[in-house]
Amino acid sequence: MSEKRKTKRKRPIYYLKLTNLNTNDLAGGVLDISPYGIKLSGTEKYETDSITKFQLPLPDAIQGEKLVTLNARNIWSKFDTGGDFYDYYTSGFRLENVKEEEIEAIENSLRSYLFEG
């Protein structure tokens, strides 16, 4: 399979939670992230090609926390058979209509909290 990503994915060194704004429920934790996509672990299986609005808290050591709202299109979602928890799904999302300032906020805020993987 050829690599289609524009930037390398990075894994958070601590738990980054996503809130599903369509349901106002915790969607799960970010397994890896780039300014253009997110891999999520959670209890919900997402329909392929569905759009979900997420809220992501970005850590900022100086100003506390910044909330970014993201529209994400589900590319795939599958039951996590290799995980340590039951009833969890891993899902891949492509971020859509992301503004340049949101991309910069994600990159700058998470720079100290991510490592390439």
pLDDT tens for 14-71 read 678 899 999 999 999 988 888 788 999 999 999 999 999 999 887 765 555 678 889 9
Return the sign of the alpha-carbon dihedral for residues 91, 45, 89, 104: positive
- Written as six digits, the tokens of 44 are 């919900």
Domains and CATH numbers, the chain: 10-99 (2.40.10.220)
The pLDDT score that the predictor gives to residue 48 is 96
Mean pLDDT of the chain: 79
What is the maximum alpha-carbon separation in the chain? 41
pTM, 2 dp: 0.77
**Long-range contacts at 65-70 (CB < 8 A, ≥ 24 apart):** 66/105, 66/109, 68/102, 68/105, 68/106, 69/21, 70/38, 70/95, 70/98, 70/102
